[in-house]
Amino acid sequence: MLAGVAAFSIGARPARALAGACVDPRVRLEGEIDSKWIEPIVRVCEDLAKMPGVDSAARLRIIASGDQIIVIVTLEDGRTAVRRLQAGADLRTTVEALMTVPPSPKPEVEAPPVAIPEPPRTTLPAQEPASAAAAPATTTMEIGVAVSGRLANRPTYLSLGSSAYAGLRVGRWLVGVSARWDAVQRPARRSTLEGLAMDSFGTGFLVAGRVAGSNAVALDVGATTLLLVESQSHVKDGDDRAGSATDVRLGVVGRVHLGPRALRFTVAVDAEISPSRTRRTIRIDEALPPLPAWSIGLGLGATWGGR
Protein backbone atom coordinates (compact mmCIF):
# COMPACT_ATOMS: atom_id res chain seq x y z
CA MET A 1 0.00 0.00 0.00
CA LEU A 2 2.88 2.39 0.81
CA ALA A 3 4.33 1.86 -2.65
CA GLY A 4 1.01 2.70 -4.24
CA VAL A 5 0.64 5.84 -2.19
CA ALA A 6 4.18 6.92 -3.02
CA ALA A 7 3.53 6.40 -6.73
CA PHE A 8 0.25 8.26 -6.43
CA SER A 9 1.92 11.18 -4.68
CA ILE A 10 4.36 11.78 -7.52
CA GLY A 11 1.66 12.99 -9.85
CA ALA A 12 -0.76 14.52 -7.37
CA ARG A 13 -0.78 17.37 -4.95
CA PRO A 14 0.40 16.52 -1.42
CA ALA A 15 -2.88 17.58 0.21
CA ARG A 16 -4.98 15.42 -2.18
CA ALA A 17 -2.74 12.36 -1.63
CA LEU A 18 -2.91 12.68 2.13
CA ALA A 19 -6.67 13.26 2.13
CA GLY A 20 -7.23 10.00 0.33
CA ALA A 21 -4.73 7.95 2.33
CA CYS A 22 -5.31 9.19 5.92
CA VAL A 23 -8.93 8.33 6.74
CA ASP A 24 -8.51 7.91 10.51
CA PRO A 25 -11.06 10.29 12.12
CA ARG A 26 -8.64 11.02 14.96
CA VAL A 27 -6.16 12.64 12.55
CA ARG A 28 -6.64 16.15 11.16
CA LEU A 29 -4.36 17.73 8.56
CA GLU A 30 -4.10 21.50 8.19
CA GLY A 31 -2.32 23.59 5.55
CA GLU A 32 -0.25 22.69 2.50
CA ILE A 33 1.90 19.77 3.69
CA ASP A 34 5.34 19.59 2.06
CA SER A 35 5.77 16.56 -0.21
CA LYS A 36 8.54 15.09 1.96
CA TRP A 37 5.99 14.44 4.72
CA ILE A 38 3.52 12.40 2.59
CA GLU A 39 5.08 8.99 3.17
CA PRO A 40 5.70 9.45 6.95
CA ILE A 41 2.12 10.75 7.49
CA VAL A 42 0.56 7.90 5.46
CA ARG A 43 2.61 5.37 7.45
CA VAL A 44 1.47 6.88 10.74
CA CYS A 45 -2.18 6.76 9.63
CA GLU A 46 -1.81 3.07 8.77
CA ASP A 47 0.05 2.19 11.99
CA LEU A 48 -2.16 4.22 14.33
CA ALA A 49 -4.86 1.55 14.48
CA LYS A 50 -2.25 -1.12 15.31
CA MET A 51 -0.28 0.81 17.95
CA PRO A 52 -0.71 -0.87 21.37
CA GLY A 53 -1.98 1.24 24.23
CA VAL A 54 -3.18 4.21 22.14
CA ASP A 55 -5.64 6.49 23.96
CA SER A 56 -8.87 6.01 22.00
CA ALA A 57 -10.02 9.54 22.85
CA ALA A 58 -6.77 11.23 21.83
CA ARG A 59 -6.82 13.55 18.80
CA LEU A 60 -3.90 14.28 16.44
CA ARG A 61 -3.45 17.51 14.46
CA ILE A 62 -0.69 17.90 11.87
CA ILE A 63 -0.16 21.51 10.77
CA ALA A 64 2.03 22.56 7.87
CA SER A 65 4.85 25.00 8.70
CA GLY A 66 6.99 25.47 5.58
CA ASP A 67 9.12 22.35 5.16
CA GLN A 68 8.37 21.43 8.79
CA ILE A 69 5.23 20.26 10.55
CA ILE A 70 3.71 20.95 13.96
CA VAL A 71 2.23 17.95 15.80
CA ILE A 72 -0.46 18.66 18.41
CA VAL A 73 -1.93 15.81 20.51
CA THR A 74 -4.93 16.41 22.77
CA LEU A 75 -5.84 13.71 25.34
CA GLU A 76 -9.23 12.93 26.84
CA ASP A 77 -8.51 14.86 30.06
CA GLY A 78 -7.73 18.05 28.09
CA ARG A 79 -3.93 17.90 28.30
CA THR A 80 -2.20 19.04 25.10
CA ALA A 81 1.34 18.39 23.83
CA VAL A 82 2.95 20.32 20.96
CA ARG A 83 6.02 19.23 18.99
CA ARG A 84 7.73 20.82 15.94
CA LEU A 85 9.39 18.24 13.66
CA GLN A 86 11.96 18.66 10.91
CA ALA A 87 12.64 15.04 9.89
CA GLY A 88 10.06 12.50 8.76
CA ALA A 89 11.79 9.72 10.72
CA ASP A 90 10.75 11.41 13.97
CA LEU A 91 7.00 11.49 13.23
CA ARG A 92 6.02 7.94 14.21
CA THR A 93 8.02 7.88 17.47
CA THR A 94 6.61 11.28 18.46
CA VAL A 95 2.98 10.28 17.78
CA GLU A 96 3.41 6.97 19.58
CA ALA A 97 4.98 8.65 22.63
CA LEU A 98 2.24 11.30 22.91
CA MET A 99 -0.85 9.17 22.19
CA THR A 100 -0.11 5.94 24.05
CA VAL A 101 -1.13 5.41 27.67
CA PRO A 102 1.23 3.51 29.99
CA PRO A 103 -0.24 0.24 31.30
CA SER A 104 -1.71 0.31 34.78
CA PRO A 105 0.43 -1.41 37.39
CA LYS A 106 -0.75 -4.79 38.48
CA PRO A 107 -2.26 -4.76 41.96
CA GLU A 108 -0.04 -6.32 44.55
CA VAL A 109 -1.31 -9.53 45.99
CA GLU A 110 -1.55 -9.20 49.73
CA ALA A 111 -0.12 -12.04 51.69
CA PRO A 112 -2.62 -13.77 53.96
CA PRO A 113 -2.38 -12.63 57.54
CA VAL A 114 -0.24 -14.78 59.78
CA ALA A 115 -1.73 -15.59 63.12
CA ILE A 116 0.64 -14.67 65.94
CA PRO A 117 0.10 -16.66 69.10
CA GLU A 118 -0.65 -14.52 72.11
CA PRO A 119 2.15 -14.75 74.68
CA PRO A 120 1.25 -15.97 78.13
CA ARG A 121 0.19 -13.19 80.47
CA THR A 122 2.56 -12.45 83.28
CA THR A 123 2.48 -9.88 86.04
CA LEU A 124 5.11 -7.19 85.48
CA PRO A 125 6.45 -4.80 88.07
CA ALA A 126 5.06 -1.29 88.01
CA GLN A 127 6.82 0.94 85.48
CA GLU A 128 7.01 4.66 84.92
CA PRO A 129 4.25 5.82 82.54
CA ALA A 130 5.33 6.38 78.95
CA SER A 131 4.07 9.96 79.10
CA ALA A 132 6.76 10.79 81.65
CA ALA A 133 9.54 9.75 79.24
CA ALA A 134 8.04 11.93 76.52
CA ALA A 135 7.66 14.97 78.77
CA PRO A 136 8.83 18.26 77.18
CA ALA A 137 12.25 19.68 78.07
CA THR A 138 12.24 21.86 81.15
CA THR A 139 12.96 25.60 80.92
CA THR A 140 15.12 27.25 83.58
CA MET A 141 16.77 30.64 84.09
CA GLU A 142 20.60 30.83 84.04
CA ILE A 143 22.76 33.79 85.15
CA GLY A 144 26.54 34.06 85.05
CA VAL A 145 29.15 36.64 86.06
CA ALA A 146 32.93 36.60 85.60
CA VAL A 147 36.13 38.60 85.89
CA SER A 148 37.87 38.47 82.53
CA GLY A 149 41.17 39.34 80.91
CA ARG A 150 41.60 39.90 77.17
CA LEU A 151 44.29 40.04 74.53
CA ALA A 152 43.39 42.16 71.49
CA ASN A 153 45.49 42.65 68.39
CA ARG A 154 46.45 45.05 65.60
CA PRO A 155 47.97 46.65 67.59
CA THR A 156 48.22 44.53 70.74
CA TYR A 157 46.14 45.60 73.76
CA LEU A 158 45.78 43.97 77.17
CA SER A 159 42.62 44.56 79.21
CA LEU A 160 40.94 43.62 82.48
CA GLY A 161 37.23 43.81 83.08
CA SER A 162 34.06 41.93 83.85
CA SER A 163 31.30 40.15 81.96
CA ALA A 164 27.82 38.79 82.61
CA TYR A 165 25.06 36.93 80.84
CA ALA A 166 21.47 35.86 81.49
CA GLY A 167 19.30 33.50 79.51
CA LEU A 168 16.81 30.69 79.34
CA ARG A 169 18.00 27.10 79.15
CA VAL A 170 15.56 24.86 77.26
CA GLY A 171 16.79 21.30 77.50
CA ARG A 172 20.42 21.43 76.39
CA TRP A 173 20.11 24.81 74.63
CA LEU A 174 20.79 28.23 76.14
CA VAL A 175 19.53 31.47 74.55
CA GLY A 176 20.29 34.77 76.24
CA VAL A 177 21.86 38.21 76.34
CA SER A 178 25.39 39.16 77.42
CA ALA A 179 27.36 42.24 78.46
CA ARG A 180 31.08 43.00 78.80
CA TRP A 181 33.04 45.94 80.22
CA ASP A 182 36.79 46.17 79.65
CA ALA A 183 37.45 48.84 82.26
CA VAL A 184 41.25 48.87 82.00
CA GLN A 185 42.72 48.61 78.51
CA ARG A 186 46.35 49.39 77.72
CA PRO A 187 48.68 48.97 74.72
CA ALA A 188 51.11 46.09 75.21
CA ARG A 189 54.03 48.27 73.98
CA ARG A 190 55.03 51.14 76.22
CA SER A 191 56.07 53.18 73.20
CA THR A 192 52.46 53.54 72.09
CA LEU A 193 51.31 56.94 73.39
CA GLU A 194 52.19 57.09 77.06
CA GLY A 195 49.15 58.00 79.09
CA LEU A 196 46.60 56.68 76.60
CA ALA A 197 43.28 55.88 78.31
CA MET A 198 41.02 53.31 76.70
CA ASP A 199 38.01 51.22 77.66
CA SER A 200 35.17 49.40 75.90
CA PHE A 201 31.63 48.28 76.69
CA GLY A 202 29.37 45.98 74.72
CA THR A 203 26.09 44.06 74.78
CA GLY A 204 24.81 41.29 72.56
CA PHE A 205 23.24 37.89 72.21
CA LEU A 206 24.42 34.34 72.69
CA VAL A 207 23.25 30.84 71.72
CA ALA A 208 24.98 27.82 73.24
CA GLY A 209 24.42 24.10 73.40
CA ARG A 210 25.52 21.55 75.96
CA VAL A 211 27.91 19.16 74.25
CA ALA A 212 28.89 17.18 77.35
CA GLY A 213 27.75 17.12 80.93
CA SER A 214 27.34 15.28 84.21
CA ASN A 215 26.35 16.21 87.75
CA ALA A 216 29.85 17.54 88.45
CA VAL A 217 31.14 18.90 85.10
CA ALA A 218 29.35 20.39 82.07
CA LEU A 219 30.63 21.94 78.83
CA ASP A 220 28.71 24.50 76.74
CA VAL A 221 29.81 25.70 73.29
CA GLY A 222 28.07 28.47 71.37
CA ALA A 223 28.16 31.62 69.24
CA THR A 224 27.92 35.29 70.21
CA THR A 225 27.23 38.68 68.64
CA LEU A 226 28.31 41.88 70.36
CA LEU A 227 27.79 45.60 69.72
CA LEU A 228 30.95 47.13 71.17
CA VAL A 229 31.62 50.81 71.93
CA GLU A 230 35.35 51.63 72.29
CA SER A 231 36.63 54.91 73.73
CA GLN A 232 40.13 56.43 73.61
CA SER A 233 41.55 59.62 75.06
CA HIS A 234 45.02 61.17 75.29
CA VAL A 235 46.19 64.50 76.63
CA LYS A 236 49.65 65.86 75.90
CA ASP A 237 50.88 69.42 76.15
CA GLY A 238 47.33 70.69 76.43
CA ASP A 239 46.25 68.85 73.28
CA ASP A 240 43.25 66.65 74.13
CA ARG A 241 42.42 63.91 71.63
CA ALA A 242 39.39 61.75 72.49
CA GLY A 243 36.52 59.91 70.83
CA SER A 244 34.63 56.65 70.54
CA ALA A 245 33.74 54.13 67.84
CA THR A 246 31.04 51.47 67.54
CA ASP A 247 31.81 48.04 66.13
CA VAL A 248 30.01 44.71 65.60
CA ARG A 249 31.83 41.58 66.77
CA LEU A 250 31.10 37.92 65.93
CA GLY A 251 32.53 35.22 68.14
CA VAL A 252 32.49 31.78 69.72
CA VAL A 253 32.48 30.91 73.40
CA GLY A 254 33.06 27.82 75.51
CA ARG A 255 32.17 27.46 79.19
CA VAL A 256 33.05 24.73 81.67
CA HIS A 257 30.76 24.54 84.72
CA LEU A 258 32.17 22.80 87.79
CA GLY A 259 30.13 21.63 90.75
CA PRO A 260 26.94 19.62 91.35
CA ARG A 261 24.86 22.42 92.90
CA ALA A 262 22.84 25.26 91.36
CA LEU A 263 25.70 27.72 92.08
CA ARG A 264 28.78 26.52 90.20
CA PHE A 265 32.28 27.72 89.39
CA THR A 266 32.75 28.64 85.69
CA VAL A 267 35.74 28.94 83.38
CA ALA A 268 35.00 30.66 80.05
CA VAL A 269 37.14 31.07 76.92
CA ASP A 270 35.99 33.16 73.97
CA ALA A 271 37.28 34.60 70.70
CA GLU A 272 35.78 37.34 68.55
CA ILE A 273 36.51 39.17 65.31
CA SER A 274 35.40 42.43 63.70
CA PRO A 275 34.29 41.78 60.07
CA SER A 276 34.69 45.50 59.22
CA ARG A 277 38.33 45.62 60.36
CA THR A 278 39.76 42.45 58.83
CA ARG A 279 41.12 44.28 55.76
CA ARG A 280 41.41 47.88 56.90
CA THR A 281 42.65 49.90 59.86
CA ILE A 282 40.17 51.96 61.88
CA ARG A 283 41.23 54.95 64.00
CA ILE A 284 39.14 57.25 66.16
CA ASP A 285 41.63 60.05 65.49
CA GLU A 286 44.78 60.26 63.38
CA ALA A 287 46.79 61.01 66.51
CA LEU A 288 45.47 57.92 68.33
CA PRO A 289 46.55 54.30 67.76
CA PRO A 290 44.41 51.94 65.62
CA LEU A 291 41.56 49.99 67.16
CA PRO A 292 41.94 46.19 67.43
CA ALA A 293 40.34 43.85 64.87
CA TRP A 294 40.08 40.74 67.03
CA SER A 295 40.49 39.54 70.59
CA ILE A 296 40.50 36.47 72.82
CA GLY A 297 39.46 36.33 76.47
CA LEU A 298 39.62 34.18 79.59
CA GLY A 299 37.01 34.55 82.31
CA LEU A 300 36.67 33.10 85.83
CA GLY A 301 33.34 33.39 87.59
CA ALA A 302 30.19 31.68 88.78
CA THR A 303 26.91 30.51 87.29
CA TRP A 304 23.57 30.23 89.03
CA GLY A 305 20.58 28.24 87.82
CA GLY A 306 20.24 25.98 84.80
CA ARG A 307 21.57 22.44 84.82
pLDDT of residue 12: 41
Q: Structural domain of residue 271, as residue ranges?
A: 138-305
Sheet holding 27-30, edge to edge: 27-30, 59-65, 68-74, 80-85
Residue 116 in domain: no
For 276, the 3-state DSSP assignment is helix
pLDDT of residue 237: 74
pLDDT for residue 299: 96
- Specify the pLDDT at position 42: 83
Tell me, yes or no, whether 121 lies in a domain.
Answer: no
pTM comes to 0.55
> Do 143 and 192 belong to one domain?
yes
Task: Based on the fold, state whether residues 185 and 89 are members of the same structural domain.
Answer: no
What distance in Å separates the CA atoms of residue 305 and residue 68, rounded to the nearest whole number? 80
Split into its structural domains, the chain has a count of 2
For residue 27, give the nearest of 77, 76, 79, 63 by alpha carbon: 63
Q: Do 93 and 33 fall into the same domain?
A: yes
Last residue of a domain, one of 49, 71, 99: 99
Average the pLDDT over 76-104 and give the result: 81
Residue 73 DSSP label: E
243 lies in some domain: yes
How buried is 22 (Cβ within 10 angstroms: 0-12 exposed, 13-18 middle, 19+ buried)? buried
Residue that finishes a domain, picked among 75, 99, 123: 99
3-class secondary structure, 293 = coil
pLDDT tens-digit readout, 24-62 = 778 888 888 888 888 888 888 877 777 777 777 788 888
Each residue's pLDDT tens digit, 211-236? 987 878 999 999 999 999 999 998 87
Is residue 106 very low, low, confident or very high in pLDDT (cuts 50, 70, 90)?
A: low
Look up the CATH number of the domain holding residue 45.
3.30.160
| Spatial distance between the Cα atoms of 174 and 172, rounded to a whole number of angstroms | 7
Do 276 and 178 sit in the same domain of this protein? yes
| Judgement on whether residues 159 and 291 belong to the same structural domain of the protein | yes
Q: Which of 42-56, 134-148, 192-206, 221-235 has the lowest mean pLDDT?
A: 42-56
Instruction: Read off the pLDDT of each residue in 104-118 and give the average, rounded to a whole number.
Output: 64
If asked whether residues 158 and 69 sit together in one domain, one would say: no
